[in-house]
Each structure stands twice: as structure tokens, then as C-alpha cells.
Structure 1
Amino acid sequence: MLEQYQAQVKCLVALDSIIFGFDGDELKLLLVKRGIEENDVTWSLMGGWLRPDEGLEESAARILFQLTGLTNIYLEQLYTFGAPYRDPVERTVAVAYFALINVNDYKEKISDSYEAQWFSMHELPNLLFDHRAMVDMAIQQLRYKATQHPIGFELLPEKFTIPQLQKLYEAIFDTTFDKRNFSRKILSTNLLIKLDEKQKGFSKKGAYLYIVDNTRYKQQFNSFLNFIPGS
């Protein structure tokens, strides 16, 4: 039995995180600078290596914390990428995750040590290896999940307005929604609690602020809600 193990070629396992953020206007992606060749700049997803004593989820969370200082954020396994020559240096299987954060909440927590930078999803640079394929798959999964589940709240501040929520979902789907239809369908989910506060500094009248009803959110997260209104 041991001979069968010893005869196998060893393979590295990498953990890569596709970190989506929302800054109030655009959906963005967090990348780090990689100098793969002399005088060449390539950008990479946040990533690292699986340790022998770790599970995948534990490793992904550790790597994310080491590179960004971020904890307790939405992190979901996406897919395993294992093409034989995806990494030209060494045979490597990559387990990809995607994470969701509010850009403004974490601006000061993300370390400068790795030259991390936010990029608009409409202006992505050249990416390392098959990382662009990972990003493309992740945005499709994000859109699917956002259609069926209230996942988008992970990208918002604690208090937000309906127009802010609409702008977020328009950024995710790269489209526009009818204002009244969006508001009506979002409120019909009963996932929001209206506050007596209004957003200041954006209009004379101001828009009411809302928070997520966390009890309902946890109860309904895994339910199929047909969450996104039509345009």
C-alpha cells in the first residue's frame, strides 16, 4: 500500500482568493503586483500555499488574513483549477475562493507590503497564469448567487439606502434596473429594517437608511428568493 503512495508524483496546492469589493460606485477586484519576468509587471490574485497540517477552509482564511489583515468576511470556495501546465514553474493545483467586502470599511486594514491595489472590473490589468479565468468564473457565480440569495449585503456598509443597494446590484450585473420596481421587490423580501435616520450630504430631502434584519438574513440565506428584480 505504501509503495503506491511513494510512486506518485507530488503536487503543490495553492489557495487563490478572488476578492470583490464595492466602493459605492463600482465593483472592484483586489490584486497584488507580481514581477514574473525582468522589467515586466503582472498582477495576481491574493494567494498562498496549503500547509500539511491545514484544511482548505482554514488555509484560505489564514492566507487572506496574512495578505490583507481581513477576518470574518464572506469567503466561499469556487472551483479547483488543475490543468497540467497552468503554472509553468511547478505542477500546481489551485483551489479558488471568492470573497466579498465593502472597500471603504477595509481601506486602512489592507497592507501595503504586497502592493495591493483595487481595480475596476471594467479595467483589469494583465493577470498571472489562469487567474483571469478564475475571475470570470467568480463573477458569474457572484451573479448567480446574487440572483437567488441576499449575498449582496456583504458588500455594503452596515447602514445603506435603497438607491445605494440598487447601485450595488447594477454594478454586479453591469446593467440598470427600474427604480420603482427595484424598490418594491427589494422591500417585499422583508429583509430590511427601515431606520428613522436619513442619509446626509447627498440631497436636500435625503433618503432613509436601512439595515439588514440579521435574523431573517440568516434564516433565508440558503433559500431561493428570486432576489433581483427585473430591469
Structure 2
Amino acid sequence: MSTVIFSLRSRPEADTLMIPLVRRTRDPFADAWALPGGWLDEREGLDDAASRTLAETTALSPSYLEQLYAFGDVDRSPTRVVSVVYWALLRSDLVDAQRASEDAPENVEWFDVDDLPALAFDHNRIVEYALWRLRNKVGYSRIAHGLLPDEFTLTELREVYEAVLGRRLDPSNFRRLLEGSEALLPTESFRTGKHRPARLYRYNSDVALADRGPLERR
């Protein structure tokens, strides 16, 4: 099992996507960075194993979790190993709080997805595919909300889309697309700062972040 875990890092110039990596302590690829993962327990389901892997790496629960792909090329490991890979989203505010606490897991470091080192096995390829999936899915679903706190401004939501897509979006067009959406509920609170107060919104929990097909609706 391996998991690609996405969250956001706030920066003055622009928010950036980041993922946690684990430094390997044994061969093959000793001392190299790798995706968090581990062996599947014989009494453990795939979803449960992915959640366990994520918790062991970040001590957090995902706001979104989905199976990505099974990677099993013959030359991906010195011994033939097939990896079932998941991808997950974590709220940025929870990640920031966890990283600042004394409970932060050891041997784990967060990296910007656009500035990754050479990873063990085929993990660079896996991250590339997970990023492709995220960027495609954000265009037709509401999973961008999975990277945000409970309440957020439309500007903060737009910045999440920009960080995921890697390009700027027109603020006026973005606002017109989202205002009146059943997925967003306006609150009575406002974010104050150097500019005029901005209304805070929250995600409508009655609306699914993404449709994952008939198996999820059983």
C-alpha cells in the first residue's frame, strides 16, 4: 500500500500543493525519500490500510480518500511487488497545526509537488499520475473543498483551484460560477483585514465532494 497525500502550503506569492514523504531506513533505496506506505495486513481491507498509512504518516484523517491505481511493472522493485495506491486530501489548517505540534511524526517531511527529489522505486511517476488525477477531477467535482478549513472566503477557494491547476483564474468569472451553488452555504461571518470584509462560506455536507460510482452508493 502507498498513499499520495495532498495538502496546501500558504505562501505570500501563492499557495502551493505539497505532499509528505518518508525517508527510507533500509535497502532498497536506503536514505531515499518515498511515499508513505506499508504492507497490507491479511485481515485488513484496502480502504482501511490506506487510512492507517495516512494516520501513521500525518496523525490526521483525510477529508477525501480514493483509490488511484495498481502499479506492478516488473522492474519497479528488486523483487516483484505490486502496490495499490490511494490519494488523499488533507485540510491545510489541520496540517499546519499538526506540523507545529510536538506530536509531528518523525522521519517525515513535506515537499512541494513541483520540487520533489528523486524518489525511491517508481514513486515520482506515481505522484505525477496522482497530480494528473487531482487536476482533472477538480474540474468536474467539488473536491477542492477538501483542502480548506470549515469556513473560507471565495478568494481562498479560488486560490485552492489555482494551486491545484497551476494557473491563475479570473476572480469575477470564478465568483459568478460559484455564487448560488448548492455546494456552498453563506455564513453570517466575515473575514476582516486590510481589504473590505469578505463573507465566509461553508461546505454543504449534504452534497458529496465527488461521485465515486455505484460501489460507493450501496
- 1:192 matched to 2:184? The reply is yes
**Counterparts of 1:221 and 1:71, CA distance in 2:** 18
Which of these residues, 47, 66, 81, is aligned with residue 57 of structure 1? 47
What percentage of residue pairs aligned between the two structures are identical?
34
> Which digits, 9 at most, give the CA deviation of each residue in 1:64-121, with x for residues without a partner?
2223222253111000000112112x22100110010123213444654432111112
**Counterparts of 2:106 and 2:82, CA distance in 1:** 23
Residues 1-231 of structure 1 aligned to structure 2 (within 5 Å): 15-24=1-10, 25-35=15-25, 41-88=31-78, 90-109=79-98, 112-201=104-193, 203-215=194-206, 217-218=207-208, 221-222=210-211
> Which digits, 9 at most, give the CA deviation of each residue in 1:3-28, with x for residues without a partner?
xxxxxxxxxxxx00000001342111
**Counterparts of 2:97 and 2:180, CA distance in 1:** 36
Q: Point out where structure 2 has 5 or more consecutive residues left out of the alignment.
A: 213-218
Residue 10 of structure 1 is matched in structure 2 by none
Calculate the TM-score normalised by the size of structure 2.
0.85
Stretches (4+) displaced over 3 A: 35-41, 107-114
Name the larger-Rg structure: 1
Amino acid at match of 1:146: V
> How many residues in Structure 1 have an aligned counterpart in Structure 2?
205
**Counterparts of 2:54 and 2:149, CA distance in 1:** 20
Amino acid at match of 1:97: Y
Q: Point out where structure 1 has 5 or more consecutive residues left out of the alignment.
A: 1-14, 224-231
Contact 2:22-2:36 at 8 Å conserved across structures: yes
Calculate the TM-score normalised by the size of structure 1.
0.81
**Counterparts of 2:120 and 2:104, CA distance in 1:** 20
